[in-house]
Amino acid sequence: MKNKKYVFVTGVAGSRWGKVEQAIRRVTNVVDQSSWLPYLQDDPQNLTEHVHKFYGPFMQHGDRFDNLHIMGPDAVIEEIDRAYDNSDPRPIRFVRCHWFAYQLDWIAENLPEVDVMMMFREGTISLKWWLESGGWTIQYPCYKWYGDTEKLPRQIHIENECMLKFMREQKLNQSYDVTTDGLKKFIHEYWPDIEEHIVNDKWPEFNIQDKTVWPVLYKGTASKPVNKYLLNQN
Protein backbone atom coordinates (compact mmCIF):
# COMPACT_ATOMS: atom_id res chain seq x y z
CA MET A 1 0.00 0.00 0.00
CA LYS A 2 1.05 3.60 -0.50
CA ASN A 3 1.74 5.89 2.42
CA LYS A 4 -1.99 6.36 2.91
CA LYS A 5 -4.42 5.38 5.64
CA TYR A 6 -7.57 3.97 4.04
CA VAL A 7 -10.82 4.31 5.97
CA PHE A 8 -13.72 2.44 4.42
CA VAL A 9 -17.11 4.04 5.13
CA THR A 10 -20.38 2.13 4.80
CA GLY A 11 -24.02 2.44 5.76
CA VAL A 12 -27.44 1.85 4.25
CA ALA A 13 -29.21 4.20 1.86
CA GLY A 14 -30.65 7.04 3.92
CA SER A 15 -28.35 6.47 6.90
CA ARG A 16 -26.65 9.87 6.55
CA TRP A 17 -23.47 7.86 6.40
CA GLY A 18 -21.22 10.73 5.31
CA LYS A 19 -21.69 12.79 8.49
CA VAL A 20 -18.55 11.71 10.37
CA GLU A 21 -16.34 11.96 7.29
CA GLN A 22 -17.81 15.39 6.55
CA ALA A 23 -16.96 16.56 10.05
CA ILE A 24 -13.41 15.20 9.98
CA ARG A 25 -12.77 16.86 6.62
CA ARG A 26 -13.85 20.21 8.05
CA VAL A 27 -12.09 20.23 11.40
CA THR A 28 -8.79 18.44 10.72
CA ASN A 29 -5.89 18.75 8.30
CA VAL A 30 -5.27 15.04 7.62
CA VAL A 31 -7.74 14.13 4.83
CA ASP A 32 -6.40 13.67 1.29
CA GLN A 33 -8.52 15.75 -1.10
CA SER A 34 -6.42 15.36 -4.25
CA SER A 35 -9.06 13.70 -6.42
CA TRP A 36 -8.57 14.47 -10.10
CA LEU A 37 -12.28 13.94 -10.67
CA PRO A 38 -14.47 16.92 -11.50
CA TYR A 39 -16.52 18.10 -8.54
CA LEU A 40 -19.38 15.63 -8.27
CA GLN A 41 -22.61 16.17 -6.41
CA ASP A 42 -26.26 15.21 -6.43
CA ASP A 43 -28.96 17.53 -7.76
CA PRO A 44 -28.95 20.49 -5.30
CA GLN A 45 -32.76 20.34 -5.23
CA ASN A 46 -32.49 17.03 -3.39
CA LEU A 47 -31.61 16.95 0.32
CA THR A 48 -28.80 14.39 0.15
CA GLU A 49 -25.77 16.71 0.24
CA HIS A 50 -23.97 13.96 -1.72
CA VAL A 51 -20.61 15.25 -2.94
CA HIS A 52 -17.11 13.93 -3.68
CA LYS A 53 -16.28 10.29 -4.36
CA PHE A 54 -18.53 7.26 -4.03
CA TYR A 55 -17.50 3.76 -5.11
CA GLY A 56 -19.71 0.95 -6.34
CA PRO A 57 -21.57 -0.61 -9.27
CA PHE A 58 -22.60 1.78 -12.07
CA MET A 59 -20.25 4.50 -10.77
CA GLN A 60 -17.00 6.01 -12.07
CA HIS A 61 -14.93 3.90 -9.72
CA GLY A 62 -15.48 0.64 -7.91
CA ASP A 63 -17.84 -0.89 -10.45
CA ARG A 64 -16.83 -4.34 -9.15
CA PHE A 65 -16.84 -3.41 -5.47
CA ASP A 66 -19.82 -5.70 -4.88
CA ASN A 67 -17.36 -8.59 -5.44
CA LEU A 68 -14.14 -7.67 -3.65
CA HIS A 69 -13.10 -11.31 -3.30
CA ILE A 70 -12.91 -11.64 -7.08
CA MET A 71 -10.80 -8.51 -7.41
CA GLY A 72 -8.31 -9.26 -4.63
CA PRO A 73 -6.72 -6.82 -2.15
CA ASP A 74 -4.18 -5.19 -4.49
CA ALA A 75 -6.75 -4.51 -7.20
CA VAL A 76 -9.13 -2.97 -4.65
CA ILE A 77 -6.51 -0.46 -3.49
CA GLU A 78 -5.46 0.28 -7.08
CA GLU A 79 -9.08 1.05 -7.98
CA ILE A 80 -9.40 3.41 -5.02
CA ASP A 81 -6.20 5.22 -5.93
CA ARG A 82 -7.30 5.73 -9.55
CA ALA A 83 -9.54 8.54 -8.29
CA TYR A 84 -6.57 10.50 -6.93
CA ASP A 85 -3.70 12.42 -8.52
CA ASN A 86 -1.34 12.00 -5.52
CA SER A 87 -0.74 15.73 -5.17
CA ASP A 88 -1.98 15.83 -1.56
CA PRO A 89 0.42 14.45 1.10
CA ARG A 90 -2.29 14.24 3.77
CA PRO A 91 -2.66 10.60 4.82
CA ILE A 92 -6.35 9.67 5.14
CA ARG A 93 -8.36 8.50 2.17
CA PHE A 94 -12.03 7.94 2.95
CA VAL A 95 -13.67 5.33 0.69
CA ARG A 96 -17.49 5.40 0.66
CA CYS A 97 -19.26 2.30 -0.60
CA HIS A 98 -22.62 0.77 0.40
CA TRP A 99 -21.41 -2.67 -0.72
CA PHE A 100 -18.66 -2.87 1.92
CA ALA A 101 -21.44 -3.77 4.39
CA TYR A 102 -21.84 -7.21 2.78
CA GLN A 103 -18.11 -7.94 2.82
CA LEU A 104 -16.82 -6.86 6.23
CA ASP A 105 -15.31 -10.24 7.10
CA TRP A 106 -13.38 -10.30 3.82
CA ILE A 107 -12.14 -6.74 4.36
CA ALA A 108 -10.98 -7.53 7.91
CA GLU A 109 -9.11 -10.64 6.75
CA ASN A 110 -7.60 -9.39 3.50
CA LEU A 111 -7.06 -5.68 4.15
CA PRO A 112 -5.82 -5.64 7.76
CA GLU A 113 -4.41 -2.09 7.57
CA VAL A 114 -7.82 -0.69 6.63
CA ASP A 115 -10.19 0.83 9.21
CA VAL A 116 -13.94 0.61 8.66
CA MET A 117 -16.48 3.18 9.83
CA MET A 118 -20.02 1.83 9.89
CA MET A 119 -23.02 4.10 10.22
CA PHE A 120 -26.06 2.51 11.87
CA ARG A 121 -29.57 3.80 11.39
CA GLU A 122 -32.81 1.86 11.70
CA GLY A 123 -34.05 0.67 8.30
CA THR A 124 -37.50 2.28 8.28
CA ILE A 125 -36.10 5.67 9.30
CA SER A 126 -33.32 5.35 6.70
CA LEU A 127 -35.71 4.48 3.88
CA LYS A 128 -38.07 7.33 4.81
CA TRP A 129 -35.21 9.84 4.78
CA TRP A 130 -33.84 8.48 1.49
CA LEU A 131 -37.21 8.86 -0.20
CA GLU A 132 -37.73 12.33 1.25
CA SER A 133 -34.24 13.35 0.13
CA GLY A 134 -34.92 12.53 -3.49
CA GLY A 135 -35.36 8.77 -3.72
CA TRP A 136 -35.02 7.48 -7.25
CA THR A 137 -34.40 11.00 -8.53
CA ILE A 138 -31.04 11.02 -6.72
CA GLN A 139 -28.43 11.34 -9.45
CA TYR A 140 -25.29 10.78 -7.40
CA PRO A 141 -24.37 8.22 -6.29
CA CYS A 142 -26.14 5.74 -8.54
CA TYR A 143 -28.71 3.43 -6.91
CA LYS A 144 -29.49 1.39 -10.03
CA TRP A 145 -28.09 -1.78 -8.42
CA TYR A 146 -30.91 -1.71 -5.83
CA GLY A 147 -33.54 -2.14 -8.51
CA ASP A 148 -36.79 -0.67 -7.19
CA THR A 149 -38.67 0.38 -4.06
CA GLU A 150 -39.63 -3.23 -3.39
CA LYS A 151 -36.05 -4.50 -3.34
CA LEU A 152 -34.42 -1.54 -1.60
CA PRO A 153 -36.00 -2.04 1.88
CA ARG A 154 -34.90 -5.68 1.82
CA GLN A 155 -31.31 -4.72 1.03
CA ILE A 156 -31.33 -2.02 3.70
CA HIS A 157 -32.34 -4.68 6.24
CA ILE A 158 -29.66 -7.10 5.02
CA GLU A 159 -26.93 -4.45 5.11
CA ASN A 160 -27.82 -3.40 8.65
CA GLU A 161 -27.87 -7.06 9.74
CA CYS A 162 -24.44 -7.63 8.18
CA MET A 163 -23.01 -4.67 10.06
CA LEU A 164 -24.63 -5.67 13.36
CA LYS A 165 -23.31 -9.23 13.00
CA PHE A 166 -19.79 -7.95 12.35
CA MET A 167 -20.06 -5.54 15.27
CA ARG A 168 -21.08 -8.33 17.65
CA GLU A 169 -18.31 -10.66 16.43
CA GLN A 170 -15.68 -7.93 16.80
CA LYS A 171 -17.11 -6.73 20.15
CA LEU A 172 -17.48 -3.16 18.88
CA ASN A 173 -19.39 -0.50 20.78
CA GLN A 174 -22.23 1.69 19.54
CA SER A 175 -21.98 4.55 22.02
CA TYR A 176 -22.63 7.97 20.46
CA ASP A 177 -25.04 9.62 18.06
CA VAL A 178 -24.06 11.95 15.23
CA THR A 179 -24.62 15.32 16.85
CA THR A 180 -21.75 17.74 17.37
CA ASP A 181 -21.38 16.69 21.01
CA GLY A 182 -21.75 13.02 20.15
CA LEU A 183 -19.17 13.22 17.37
CA LYS A 184 -16.64 14.94 19.59
CA LYS A 185 -17.05 12.20 22.22
CA PHE A 186 -16.87 9.47 19.54
CA ILE A 187 -13.61 10.82 18.13
CA HIS A 188 -12.15 11.37 21.60
CA GLU A 189 -12.87 7.80 22.73
CA TYR A 190 -12.34 5.77 19.57
CA TRP A 191 -10.11 7.91 17.33
CA PRO A 192 -7.70 9.86 19.54
CA ASP A 193 -5.05 9.96 16.80
CA ILE A 194 -7.56 11.96 14.73
CA GLU A 195 -8.48 14.20 17.65
CA GLU A 196 -4.95 15.54 18.01
CA HIS A 197 -5.14 16.86 14.43
CA ILE A 198 -8.27 18.96 14.93
CA VAL A 199 -7.26 22.46 13.84
CA ASN A 200 -10.53 24.40 13.95
CA ASP A 201 -14.02 24.31 15.41
CA LYS A 202 -15.98 24.48 12.14
CA TRP A 203 -18.18 21.49 12.87
CA PRO A 204 -21.04 20.89 10.41
CA GLU A 205 -24.50 21.95 11.47
CA PHE A 206 -26.63 19.06 12.68
CA ASN A 207 -30.30 18.61 13.43
CA ILE A 208 -32.62 16.29 15.33
CA GLN A 209 -32.36 13.69 12.55
CA ASP A 210 -28.79 13.00 13.51
CA LYS A 211 -29.77 11.62 16.91
CA THR A 212 -30.92 8.49 15.03
CA VAL A 213 -27.48 7.84 13.48
CA TRP A 214 -24.77 5.88 15.31
CA PRO A 215 -21.17 5.55 14.10
CA VAL A 216 -19.09 2.47 14.92
CA LEU A 217 -15.37 2.24 14.15
CA TYR A 218 -13.49 -0.99 13.43
CA LYS A 219 -9.71 -0.74 13.40
CA GLY A 220 -7.96 -3.36 11.29
CA THR A 221 -5.58 -5.79 12.96
CA ALA A 222 -2.63 -4.03 11.28
CA SER A 223 -4.09 -0.53 11.58
CA LYS A 224 -1.61 2.26 12.28
CA PRO A 225 -2.29 5.70 13.78
CA VAL A 226 -2.28 8.75 11.54
CA ASN A 227 1.05 9.99 12.91
CA LYS A 228 2.82 6.88 11.56
CA TYR A 229 1.94 7.96 8.03
CA LEU A 230 2.96 11.55 8.70
CA LEU A 231 6.35 10.42 10.03
CA ASN A 232 6.95 8.33 6.90
CA GLN A 233 6.61 11.47 4.80
CA ASN A 234 9.56 13.11 6.52
* Choice among 83-87, 120-124, 155-159, 162-166 with the minimum mean pLDDT: 83-87
Structure confidence at residue 40 (pLDDT): 57
pLDDT digits (tens, 9 = 90+) for 134-156: 888 887 778 889 989 899 999 99
Please tell me the pTM assigned to this model. 0.91
C-alpha 210: how far from its chain's center? 16
Report whether 163 contacts 122 (CB < 8 A).
no
Structure confidence at residue 36 (pLDDT): 53
Residue (of 145, 46, 40) closest to 102 by Cα position: 145
Task: Give the mean model confidence (pLDDT) for residues 118-126.
Answer: 95
Q: What distance in Å separates the CA atoms of residue 18 and residue 10, rounded to the nearest whole number?
A: 9
pLDDT digits (tens, 9 = 90+) for 173-182: 888 888 888 8
Task: Give the mean model confidence (pLDDT) for residues 185-190.
Answer: 93
Give the residue with greater pLDDT, 69 vs 17.
69
Structure confidence at residue 47 (pLDDT): 47
DSSP E strand stretches across 59-210:
92-96, 115-120
The Cα-based distances of 71 to 59, 95, 103, 111, 141 in angstroms read: 16, 16, 13, 12, 22
* Choice among 70-84, 104-118, 120-134, 193-207 with the minimum mean pLDDT: 193-207
Report whether 4 contacts 32 (CB < 8 A).
yes
Q: What distance in Å separates the CA atoms of residue 74 and residue 68, rounded to the nearest whole number?
A: 10
Confidence band of 209 (pLDDT split at 50, 70, 90): low
Instruction: Tell me the backbone φ, ψ of residue 73, rounded to 5 degrees.
Output: -60, -45
Percent of the chain predicted with pLDDT > 70: 89
Structure confidence at residue 134 (pLDDT): 83
Structure confidence at residue 48 (pLDDT): 45
Give the residue with greater pLDDT, 229 vs 118.
118
Residue (of 180, 176, 200, 210) closest to 30 by Cα position: 200
Structure confidence at residue 70 (pLDDT): 97
Q: What distance in Å separates the CA atoms of residue 81 and residue 188, rounded to the nearest whole number?
A: 29
Structure confidence at residue 41 (pLDDT): 53
Report whether 62 contacts 79 (CB < 8 A).
yes
* Element housing 5 (H / E): strand 5-11
Instruction: Tell me the backbone φ, ψ of residue 5, rounded to 5 degrees.
Output: -100, 115
Task: Give the mean model confidence (pLDDT) for residues 167-186.
Answer: 90
Q: What distance in Å separates the CA atoms of residue 26 and residue 22, rounded to the nearest whole number?
A: 6
Structure confidence at residue 85 (pLDDT): 81
Which neighbouring-strand residues pair with 35? 84
Structure confidence at residue 46 (pLDDT): 45
Which neighbouring-strand residues pair with 96? 9
Structure confidence at residue 22 (pLDDT): 81
With a CB cutoff of 8 Å and minimum separation 6, the contacts of 132 are 47
